[in-house]
Each structure stands twice: as structure tokens, then as C-alpha cells.
Amino acid sequence: MNTNRPARCLALVLTLVLLSGCVERTVRFDTRPSGAVIVVNDEELPDVTPAKTSFLWYGDYDIIVRKPGYKTLKTHVRLERPWYEYPPIDIIAECFVLGTIRDEHVVAPFELEPAEKPETSELVDRAVNLRIEAHED
């Protein structure tokens, strides 16, 4: 009888756990023109476009795109899960595949429209109306 067998089995299990893979999920945003700020679910990305960030779940994300001189764009994107992220295959992909699986999503470039400069008279009218509304409350 071999008394080292349980220790060898434990060492093998620990080795497999340490060598097991993971899934690296990223999404890349781009705009035309580049250099815009991207806000994903109320969290601003640290880089301007083109920008890449990691994500944890698949589904809908609210997106706000801002750049000085351009209209603010509010939209959403849906990140679809790949075939290996459906149960029970996801457990195999995330725990037992050696190495890292890279799941990169690329969002089609957002087309930004130049902002229209309002006329001075329009701005004055809006300011007067806001002042009247503020005094009414």
C-alpha cells in the first residue's frame, strides 16, 4: 500500500487548479472623430477613444459619448455571450481549459455629429425663461 497516494492526488488537483484557465472579457469603443469620452453605465472610462475596457457580464450597457464641439450621444450596446459561455460549458471554459480565453467585443464606431451653435437671441430667451420659472417656484 502506497501512503503517498493521497498527497500525490492533492498535489495533482492543486496543480490543475493553479494551471486552470480563465476568460478575459474586453470591449473596444471607437468614435469618428476619435478622442471622445465614453461613459459606460455611469462610469467614465479612463482613456478617450479608441478605448478598451474589461467587463464582467453579458447584456445591455448604457453608453454616453461626449466630445467638445459635438452633440452628446446617448445609446446602448448589447454584448452577446459566445457559445462557450452558456451553462454548463462555461464551467469547463473558465475552470479547466489551460491558458486564457480572450473574448474581445468591438463596438462599431460611433459617428458624432457636430454641435450647432445656438443664436445669441435664443440663449437670452432661454435664460429669461429659466429666471421666470425659478422665481415662480
Q: Classify the phi-psi angles of 42: left when phi > 0, otherwise alpha if psi is within -120 to 50, otherwise beta.
A: left
- Note whether residue 81 is domain-resident: yes
pLDDT for residue 31 is more than 90: yes
d(CA 6, CA 23): 31
- Note whether residue 107 is domain-resident: yes
Q: Domain containing 71: what range? A: 25-113
| Mean pLDDT of the region 84-94 | 81
How many domains does one find in the chain?
1
- Note whether residue 79 is domain-resident: yes
- Note whether residue 95 is domain-resident: yes
pLDDT for residue 19 is more than 60: no
Question: Model's pTM, two decimal places?
Answer: 0.70
Task: Tell me what pLDDT residue 16 has.
Answer: 59
Q: How confident is the model at residue 17 (pLDDT cuts 50, 70, 90)?
A: low
Q: For the domain that residue 40 is a member of, what is the CATH number?
A: 2.60.40
- Note whether residue 135 is domain-resident: no
How far is residue 69 from each of residues 29, 33, 114, 115, measured CA to CA in Å?
19, 11, 6, 5
- Note whether residue 119 is domain-resident: no
Task: Tell me what pLDDT residue 60 has.
Answer: 96
| Mean pLDDT of the region 6-17 | 70
- The overall average pLDDT reported for the chain is 87
d(CA 37, CA 29): 10
